[in-house]
Amino acid sequence: MDKSPEIALTQMRKSVQELGSSTEKHGDPTLMRFLIARSMDPSKAAKMFVQWQKWRAQLVPLGFIPDSEVPDELESRKIYLQGLSKGGHPLMIVKASNHFPSKDQLQFKKFVVHLLDKTIASSFKGREIGNEKLVAILDLQQITYKNIDARALITGFQFLQAYYPERLAKCFLLSMPWFFVSVWRLVSRFLEKATLEKIVIVSNEEEKEEFIREIGEEALPEEYGGRAKVVVLQDVILTPVDDSLNSTS
């Protein structure tokens, strides 16, 4: 569509109102993410936005998921939150060898929200702008068949696509073993083209060097070629911001 961003934003706000909701608490950068995700189509973006609002109200009524609601997932210490990449995006690392399929799917879904909200919020400078993105690393080193969980990966990526549009800057897959290739093929079927284009499978030394250059040694832990120490998600304490996490998406 050849509409200017200003016209598209105005039409989207109007469409959201017509759907019985409001954009009052959300700035242009937030709405623009939904527009980009729906090819600048105001009515499709409005529908996506309202679905996101309803989803947040149902799954995240407090506006955030406290640690106390995801104790089993935090106990595994499988997520690291490493500060900002060279491009200014918060860096989240998933240590897949510490993950085991969850027996409590609702808690797992809440955990996905918890880790995405916290990762995005870690880049706020006083308040949320609305266009912050994250960089993710899926570290598959030393995984066994017990760690394989296609459903968890599909849930995570589907949440990103449906409820966190344009929040993913890039996702790197490291040390993929041969037995995971078929799992990844299955997961890939559920990913939109725009998501697949942001995923990089690092498979040789040249790609690893580029991966280190792109993220930067300051944020990257030593075991991945950087200079930082690993920081487990629950050890990161965030400063309260002006805006409620209700607007995180």
Over residues 85-106, the mean pLDDT reads: 97
Q: Residue 126 carries which DSSP code?
A: S
Structure-token pair, residue 36: 């980009």
Over residues 186-193, the mean pLDDT reads: 97
Over residues 162-189, the mean pLDDT reads: 97
Please say if the pLDDT value at position 242 is more than 60: no
Over residues 102-121, the mean pLDDT reads: 97
Over residues 178-199, the mean pLDDT reads: 97
pLDDT at 28: 96
Q: What percent of the chain lies above the pLDDT cut of 70?
A: 95
Q: Which helix (H) or strand (E) holds 195?
A: helix 193-196
Confidence tier at 120 by pLDDT (50, 70, 90): very high
Among candidates 154, 162, 67, 184, which has minimal Cα distance to 115?
Answer: 67
**7-24 residue pLDDT tens:** 999 999 999 999 999 999
Prediction pTM value: 0.94
Question: What domains lie within the chain, and their CATH numbers?
Answer: 3-60 (1.10.8), 72-235 (3.40.525.10)
**Mean residue pLDDT across the chain:** 94
Distance between CA 90 and CA 85 in Å, rounded?
Answer: 6
Over residues 162-187, the mean pLDDT reads: 97
Q: 16, 9 in Cβ contact below 8 A? A: no
Over residues 86-103, the mean pLDDT reads: 97
Distance between CA 125 and CA 43 in Å, rounded?
Answer: 32
AA letter at 241: V
Confidence tier at 241 by pLDDT (50, 70, 90): low
Confidence tier at 125 by pLDDT (50, 70, 90): confident
Question: Of the given ranges (183-192, 209-218, 237-246), which has the lowest mean pLDDT?
Answer: 237-246
Structure-token pair, residue 190: 């559920």
Confidence tier at 127 by pLDDT (50, 70, 90): confident
Residue 92's SS3 state is: strand
Please say if the pLDDT value at position 249 is more than 60: no
Please say if the pLDDT value at position 244 is more than 60: no
**35-72 residue pLDDT tens:** 999 999 999 999 999 999 999 999 999 999 999 999 99
Angle (CA) 45-245-55 rounded to 5° is 45
Q: 164, 127 in Cβ contact below 8 A? A: no
pLDDT at 7: 96
